Amino acid sequence: MIDFKQEVVNAIFEVSNGLDKEEIESLIETPPSYDMGDYAFACFRLAKIFRKDPKSIAEELTKKIDGGDFFEAIENVGPYINFFINKSKLAETVIESIKERGAKFGSTNMGQGRKALVEFSSPNIAKPFHIGHIRSTVIGNSLYKIFKFQGFDTERLNHLGDYGTQFGMLIAAYKKWGDMEVIESDPINELLKLYVKFNEEAEKDEELKEEARYWFKELEAGNEEALELWQWIRDVSLKEFNKVYDLLGIEFDSYTGESFYSDKMPRVIKEMEEKGLLQESEGAVIIDLEEYGMPPALIKKSDGSTLYTTRDIAAAIYRKEHYDFYKNIYVVGSQQNLHFKQWIKVIELMGYDWADDCVHVPFGMVSLEDGTLSTRRGRVVFLEDVLEKAIESTLEIIEERNPDLNNKEEVAKEVGIGAIIFQELFNNRIKDYVFSWEKTLSFEGETGPYVQYTHARANSLLKKGNFKLDEEIDHSLLNQDNEVSLLRFLYQFPAVVTDALNKYEPSIITRHIVEITKAFNKFYNSCPVLSAEEELRKARLMLVYVTKVVLKTGLDLLGIAAPDRM
């Protein structure tokens, strides 16, 4: 595909006499309106070189610049040189590139030979898979797809919370009040009841907290009874979690949780000791991080048990040795910012030069309309319930609007779940938000169903128009404002995908495919397709086709299906 920005750089380089190409590129801007051109070059920096005012420089350079057939006009306005892309050339490069690359349009080989690990979802065993978990789950899945799309050898890691003090609580609670048959009939709800009850009783009775600590220590020491109960709780929990992953269409390459690293921590602690990093503090073992503006990293508690920090360090070292990653990405809420800064700093202090390749991708919190989520108090909205309700609501809409649709249940699933995922990925990931059934299940405005419906509409147009991909078209016919606007958004798609990868931000893609959808619908409403004369009809059908391809690719990068009919 022609890189028009690079052609602007080349054109200015030929006449600027003193600027290198990198500097020229840094001075190129995108004007606020296409009436002012597709690209603008500011001449302020040239004033010292040419010893003239920027306006005069812009006038002189504009007369010398040869834009070839890439630009239909090059004009100067004050100190700026404005470049207007040749519309026919734009149509040709966009359409032919998408025809050639298909679903790969926008992908690169930037990740070739590089391993990227994406850790996401990572729910705690024996706790509800609630609406708060959806953010890590769908952001992480989208990042996995984006990195894979850009040629990285990418692995999906589900670092299950299957270790820690809560297992001491659960084992103690089960031994006091548990019933295996009752729990197996409804694992997560029943385990949650035990967990909530234990926390309520422990607030009144300190001895219960001691029991929890005792059983966790026994678990770490390999007590047979503790291990059997732990394995059973893990198995029944994972079976429930997989129901949600199946609904979301998400898979993992590894379910290796915290427990996997329990036998790898002694080696890591010994290494820290040998490197002189450890200190004792009130019976606990810490690493002092005061000079880096952080509180100490707690490595071992006073009772000898380990913590998240120790396990995350052991996990990172194992992953580097096992995968030799280029990037080790953690999609974990922003409330863990300090935790990640601490253990990544410890990795650096241990002398590992790959510490900076461990990347924390934080996201904002989810709260309910009447307050925050709290597993300890049983205040949760189950994610499976949210997804099932979205499917049911969508099916009701389909029954009302298109009762004869084939595969109604399948389409309802694709659209309902797509609506949930799209809403999660529409706003910048770092923003907190309040979960609302009404907003989540709305199908109006900038939503997943709006994009999916546009994809289905494009598909219908192609069928009605008996579209043939191998037909030659006259690209110059696509010159109406709404046609050119749509072509511009399609042209920008590869850069948008790269930007989303570099910023670990799927919402950049989400918002862009909404803009493509809006542009397509303006084109559809203002430019007749099926009733146009033959050559124009063929050109417009081709524009419909390439839009459909990009919308499908964009939705796929978000983890959302693109139904052909709705």
Active-site amino acid positions: 127, 130, 133
Nearest-angstrom CA–CA distance, 72 and 60: 19
Taking alpha carbons only, the member of 71, 80, 67 closest to residue 31 is: 80
- Alpha-carbon separation of residue 344 from 136, 209, 335 (angstroms): 20, 31, 16
Longest CA–CA separation in the chain, Å: 88
Nearest-angstrom CA–CA distance, 323 and 116: 9
Extended strands (E) in 425-533: 433-435
Residue 451 in contact with residue 555, Cβ under 8 Å?
Answer: yes
Return phi, psi of residue 264, to 5°.
-100, -5
Return phi, psi of residue 86, to 5°.
-65, 115
- SS3 call for 215: helix
- Alpha-carbon separation of residue 552 from 391, 497, 510, 545, 561 (angstroms): 21, 14, 12, 11, 8
Nearest-angstrom CA–CA distance, 44 and 54: 5
Residues 6 or more apart in contact with residue 331 via CB below 8 angstroms: 118, 119, 120, 136, 139, 140, 143, 361, 363
Residue 39 in contact with residue 6, Cβ under 8 Å?
Answer: no
- What is the CB-side half-sphere exposure of residue 155 using CA atoms within 13 A? 19
Residue 545 sits at the vertex; the CA angle it makes with 539 and 548, to the nearest 5 degrees, is: 145
Q: What is the DSSP letter of 480?
A: S
Taking alpha carbons only, the member of 497, 428, 553 closest to residue 147 is: 497
Nearest-angstrom CA–CA distance, 387 and 410: 14
Nearest-angstrom CA–CA distance, 133 and 190: 19
Q: What is the DSSP letter of 430?
A: T
Residue 40 sits at the vertex; the CA angle it makes with 34 and 41, to the nearest 5 degrees, is: 175
Query: H helices within 275-354, ranges in order?
Result: 308-323, 337-349
Taking alpha carbons only, the member of 98, 136, 75 closest to residue 360 is: 136
Residue 87 in contact with residue 478, Cβ under 8 Å?
Answer: yes
Query: What token pair was written down for 269?
Result: 């602690």
